[in-house]
Amino acid sequence: MALYEPDASFVPQPGKVVQGRDAIRQATLQFLSLKGTMQIDSVFTVHGPGMALTRGQWRLSATGSDGKLVEMTGQSVEVLRQQPNGEWLVAIDHPFGAQ
């Protein structure tokens, strides 16, 4: 959750938006409980003054509670904002936004 701004927006599934680190944590618990491996490949990053737009492709591979392989893929878009201390944090994260 340290990658996100305190009031960041996250799209856990198409058509649903949650806001804030606590809501993002709750929305991602199911994915995190899989304890799988996630690979993210950056497609591009565009910088603006104090902001950046990124696009990525991701793949999640894990074993479900039933022992079956779980694989998910997506094409994401994110907006990052530079903080006063120079750090970059995610302001908007849409894991399915580029599909």
For 73-84, write each residue's pLDDT tens digit. 999 999 999 999
CA distance 84 to 88: 9
Residue pLDDT, tens place only, 9-47 = 999 988 999 999 999 999 998 778 887 899 999 999 999
Structure tokens at 9: 């927006």
Quickly list DSSP for 14-37: TTEEEESHHHHHHHHHHHHHT--E
Closest CA to 27 of 13, 8, 12, 7: 12
CATH class of segment(s) 4-94 = alpha beta
